[in-house]
Amino acid sequence: MTAVYPSDAGPQAYLQSQIRWRTAEILFWLATLLPFVATPNYLSLASQIAITALFALSLDLILGYAGIVSLGHAAFFGFGAYAAGLISKHGWGEPLSGLVLSGIAAGLLGYAVSFVIARFRHLALIMLTLGFGLLLLELANSASSITGGADGLQGVKTWPLLGMFKFDLYGFTAYWYALIVLFLLFLVSRRLINSPFGLSLRGIRENAVRMRAIGAESRPHIRMIYTISATMAGIAGAILTQTTETVSLGVLDFQRSADLLVILILGGAGRLYGGLIGAIIYMIARDWFSGVNPQYWYFPIGVLLIAVVLFLPNGILGGIAQLIDTARGRRWFGWLVSPPWRRRA
C-alpha cells in the first residue's frame, strides 16, 4: 500500500509530501562524503562510481520513468567522452566549459537520434539502440586520425578546476568534481520527475495507448527526455575523460551499455536512487571480485544479478521499499521515509 494521508490535508499537501527530502536521502548524500575521510586511498574508485552513477541516472530517466529501453546508451557517454577529449587536445583544457560543450554535443546527437527512437518501443528499440551503439563504436574505430582509433586519444590535458584545483594523482579533485556534478544533475532530475513533464513520462511508461486517448502526444515528450538523458550521459563521459586525461574505445563499448542496464536493474529502475545504489554496489563488487579473481570476476556478478531479479524483482531499492511498507505502522523504519523535522510525536 502507498502512503496514507488524511484526505482533509488536501491534494496539494499530499503532492508536496511526495517531494519532501527524506531522512534516508540526507543520510545517503552525507555518506557520499565518507570516502574523503574513511577511504582516501580509494578516491579514484569513488570518482569512477560517481561517474557511473550519473550515467545510470541518465538511463533511469528514459528507462525507469518513460519506459524507453536502451542497449546502446554508451553511445552518448562515449560521444561526450570523445568530445571532451578533442576539445582538450585542440588546446582548450578548461574543465567546466569543456563539460558544458561536451554535454551539448551529446545532447545534439541524442536529439537527432530521438526522432527515430520516439517511433518505436520494446524489442525494436533494443535492436535500434544496440545497432546505433555498434555503429558509433566502429565509426570511432575507423576514424583513427581524429579519435586515435584503438590506441586511444592521446594528448588530453585538463587544466586545474577554476584555475586553482589541479587534478591530482589520488583522485581527490576528481571525486569532488564528479560528486558535485552528480549532485547538481540529481537535483535537476529530482525536480523533473516531480514536474508535470515527469508525470507525463510515467503516463507513457504506464499506458501509451491511453495517452493518445486523453489527447496527449507522446513523441515530443520522448524526444525531449531522450535529449536530456543523452546530455547527462555525455556529461558523465566527459568527466571520465577530464579526470583520467585519456579516451579509449572502451567508452563506446557494448559492454558499457550492458553493464549500465545491469546496474540500473540491480539498484531498481524508476526510483532515481536505483542507479546510484546500483553503481555503488556494482563498482565495489567489480573492484573486489576482480581483485580476488581477475579472470572470472563476471561469474559472481552474474550470480548477483540472477539473485536480485529472482528475489527482488524491483531491484534492491524496490525490495527495501517493500520492507518499509510492511514495517510501516510498526515504526521500525518510519524515520527513514519521513523527514526528521516533520515527524509527529
Partner 1 sequence: MSVPALATSGLDKRFGSLVVAHSIGIALPQGVRYALIGPNGAGKTTLINLMTGMLRPDGGQILLGGEDITTLTPEDRVRRGLVRTFQINSLFPHLNPLEAVTLVICERDRIARTFWRITADYRAAVDEAYDILKSLLLAPVCTRETRELAYGQQRLLEIALALATKPKVLLLDEPAAGVPRDESAELFTAINSLSKDITVLFIEHDMELVFRLASRIIVMVSGGILLEGTPAEIAADPRVREVYLGGAAHG
Judged by the rule CB under 8 A, the positions of this chain that interact with partner 1 are 1-5, 7, 10-12, 14-16, 18-19, 191-192, 194-200, 202-203, 206-207, 209-217, 220-221, 224, 228
Least distance from partner 1 to the Cβ atom of residue 15, Å: 4
Q: Which is nearer to partner 1, 180 or 199 (CB)?
A: 199
Residue that is written with C-alpha cell 555518506 in the block? 31
SS3 69: coil
Burial of 14 (0-12, 13-18, 19+ CB in 10 A): middle
Cβ at position 17, least distance to partner 1 in Å: 9
* Least distance between partner 1 and beta carbon 270 (Å): 9
Least distance CB 70 / partner 1 (angstroms): 20
H helix runs in 148-195, sequence order: 172-193
Comparison of 202 and 253: residue with beta carbon closer to partner 1: 202
Nearest-approach distance from CB 332 to partner 1, in angstroms? 22
Considering beta carbons, is residue 140 or 193 the nearer one to partner 1? 193
Neighbours of 52 (CB within 10 A): 27
The identity of residue 72, as a single letter, is G
Reduced to 3 states (helix: H, G, I; strand: E, B; else coil), residue 167 is coil
Cβ-based nearer residue to partner 1, 16 or 144: 16
Which residues, listed in sequence order, are joined to residue 153 by a DSSP beta bridge? 247
Pick 133 or 274: Cβ nearer partner 1: 274
DSSP label at residue 160: P
Measured distance CA(67)–CA(65) in Å, rounded? 6
Residue given cell 517493500 in the structure block: 322
The residue among 202, 301, 310, 314 whose CA lies nearest residue 268 is 314
Q: Which is nearer to partner 1, 115 or 288 (CB)?
A: 115
User: CA-CA distances (angstroms) from residue 135 to 8, 75, 143?
Assistant: 56, 9, 12
For partner 1, the closer of residues 168 and 206 by Cβ is 206
Other Cβ atoms closer than 10 A to 301: 17
Tell the smallest beta-carbon distance from residue 3 to partner 1 (Å).
7
How many whole angstroms separate alpha carbon 284 and alpha carbon 45?
8
Closer of 16 and 142 to partner 1 (Cβ): 16
* DSSP per-residue codes, 5-40: --GGG-HHHHHHHHTSPPHHHHHHHHHTTHHHHH-G
Q: Least CB distance from residue 121 to partner 1, whole Å? A: 16
Tell me the closest approach of the beta carbon of residue 142 to partner 1, in angstroms. 38
